[in-house]
Amino acid sequence: MKEFFDGKKKVIGMVHLLPLPSNAAYKGNKDEIVQFALEDAKTLIDCGVDAIMLENFNDWPQYADEIPMESYTLMTAVASKIRDLCPIPFGVNIEMNAWQQEWIMAWAVNADFIRLEAFVDNRGGSFGYIPACSTPLSKVMKDYPADVMLFTDVRTQETYGNPDVPINELAHNAMGHDSNAIIVTENDQAKRITVEDVKAMREDIGDFPIIVGSGVKANNVLDYFEYADAVIVGRGFKTGDRIDPAKVKEFMEVVRSKY
């Protein structure tokens, strides 16, 4: 398994794709989609983040567990191009929980990790029902063997549990199903995860890697890093639709001032 959690606090920057083919907001601009993503990836790398993750963030409405082939094909092409230029760990995330497509894409482009929003808990949202994927994913992993880490959400954003399982219990379940890191983004009643929540999880699960997936800013990142191993930053690095180098550099300077 690729090494990622080596004791150094990690910042994962997001590359958000423009709306893809088959989405209502798609503008027939394949070349722009590719160029936009490559420029944002280069900016994040140049500004010193520790890893980047590609996501079809602007596709709305989202599909539950599989995106159309025309979208998937273009996203895979972008992922391959980013992998070629990326000297740091690189991951992919297909909304909402396209676990099979994610793993095969990671296998195809030699990505380092994928993010799974519904790994050991069943979720529901505006896009439909999402069953936990840890069991069927294990077969795909055997069919397409790859050195790819699983970063797995518990109680992911914009969803409801069915049943509603305590967040730390879900963390233990994920650990037992070969997760490589737990992502926390919210708790009961769509409440953003707090530093106290992360502290409670740390005390419960020991030294297993924890990633905070949302709500982290330059003015609170050091508080989260008291207990978390990594953070994911997307919109917080942007001005408008683009990655803002000044915001990334400011954030990274705060992190490196202590870690």
pLDDT tens profile 124-150: 888 889 999 999 999 999 999 999 999
Q: What is the pLDDT of residue 188?
A: 54
pLDDT reading at 187 higher than 70 = no
Distances (CA, A) of 8 to 3, 50, 225, 251: 12, 10, 10, 16
* % of the chain beyond a pLDDT of 90: 85
Among 38-42, 99-103, 127-131, 158-162, the minimum mean pLDDT is found in 158-162
205: buried, middle or exposed (CB in 10 Å: 19+, 13-18, 0-12)?
Answer: middle
Q: How many CB atoms lie within 10 A of CB 22?
A: 15
Domains in the chain (CATH in brackets) are 10-252 (3.20.20.70)
Dihedral sign for Cα atoms in the order 48, 158, 78, 138: positive
Residues near 31 by beta carbon (within 8 Å), at least 6 away in sequence: none
Mean local confidence (pLDDT), 32-51: 98
Q: For 83-92, 120-129, 165-174, which range has the lowest pLDDT when averaged over its residues?
A: 120-129
Global pTM value: 0.96
Instruction: Reply yes or no on whether the pLDDT at 189 is more than 80.
Output: no
Report pLDDT for 13: 98
